Structure 1
Amino acid sequence: MTNYTFKPMSDQEARAIADWHYEAPYSFYDFRNDEEDLGELLDSKARQGIYYSVYDTQNSLIGFFCFEKKEETVEVGLGMRPDLTGKRLGQAFIQAGLNFAEEKFNPSIFSLSVAIFNERALKLYKRIGFKIMDQVTQKSNDGVYSFYNMMRSVDGRK
């Protein structure tokens, strides 16, 4: 999977993604487990210009990205269809998303947050140049969890 198509997320795509279920411990990322995130996903006005569906060359919905520009930084959120996770597809998927965001938003820096327990994603983000900036604790999914805030320059050197 190296060629991807990015489209503004439709209501139908948002409903499909809302029903994705990941195996534990990644079920933490199920939209149905966080009412606030689910509400944003299903609200077409809140999604506008932020959420993008990602399709592969067979025109299958394989994931999504959300990009929020704040000054020179684009905050990145993402998810891959559950049956595709853990198959070494993440690096190409994430790089495609960063390339798309670079063209669309022209940022200097990318940032993202990852739950500390998500060692698989953490290893991948480090491999593509993200650095841990700090650790925060925040309410999410009816609990309090620790996250790493990570950043990298658009050229991947910082």
Structure 2
Amino acid sequence: MEFNLVPVTGSAAEKIAEWRYEPPYDFYNLDADPEDYAAFMDPSNWETKFAVEDGDGTLVGFFDLTPRNQFVEVGLGMHPDLTGQGLGRTFVEAGLRHARDDLEADVFELAVATFNDRAISVYEDIGFEYVETYSQRTNGGEYEFLRMRRE
């Protein structure tokens, strides 16, 4: 499958906000945390956000590529109907390639919930390494996350 990153629009943001993942991945439903939802839907935050379209122009995911001092912080999501189908590696690599080309980035960091073995496996497979585990208050509770880095 082809993945193309384009600037996010209000229409794309609204569609992404409606996506529903099956448990335990429902943790990633955008409206699971009101603050995350508000930040995602705020157009003033869209400078770093990209919709991902397939070769036919269908919305299939998103990336948030936020430049930090020494790396690009990567946030991402794939349409629920496409998860678990072996597309993760190609999807993530498309986002990293975009960050390399447009932001001239070569160091990336991301955070993933520690229960998300599926995503962690993809990240490890493409060269992300463990940095730290930490707890964060979100979605109405305290959750453990794994910070990963790729240089």
TM-score by length of 2: 0.98
Equivalent runs, 1:51-130 vs 2, <5 Å: 51-130=49-128
8 A Cα contact 1:67 1:74, kept in partner:
yes
Work out the CA distance in 2 between the residues paired with 1:6 and 1:147.
Answer: 26
Deviations 1:87-130 (A, max 9, x none): 00111000010000111111231000000000000111000000
Work out the CA distance in 1 between the residues paired with 2:27 and 2:98.
Answer: 26
Runs of 4+ in 1 over 4 A off after TM superposition: none
8 A Cα contact 1:72 1:108, kept in partner:
no
Deviations 1:37-83 (A, max 9, x none): 11011111122x21100101111000000011012300000000000
Work out the CA distance in 2 between the residues paired with 1:92 and 1:149.
Answer: 21
Residue 8 of structure 1: aligned partner: 7
Of 143, 147, 150, which residue of structure 2 is paired with 1:149? 147
The answer for unaligned runs of 5 or more in structure 2 is none
CA RMSD of aligned residues (A): 0.8
> What's the offset of the Cα at 1:22?
0.2
Residue 40 of structure 1: aligned partner: 39
Q: Which secondary structure does the structure 2 equivalent of 1:150 belong to?
A: strand
Residue 140 of structure 1: aligned partner: 138
> What's the offset of the Cα at 1:86?
0.4
Q: Percent identity?
A: 40
8 A Cα contact 2:21 2:28, kept in partner:
yes
8 A Cα contact 2:8 2:50, kept in partner:
yes
8 A Cα contact 2:4 2:94, kept in partner:
no
Work out the CA distance in 1 between the residues paired with 2:29 and 2:90.
Answer: 22
> What's the offset of the Cα at 1:4?
2.2
Q: How many residues align?
A: 151
Residue 22 of structure 2: aligned partner: 23
TM-score by length of 1: 0.93
Equivalent position amino acid for 1:38 in 2: Y
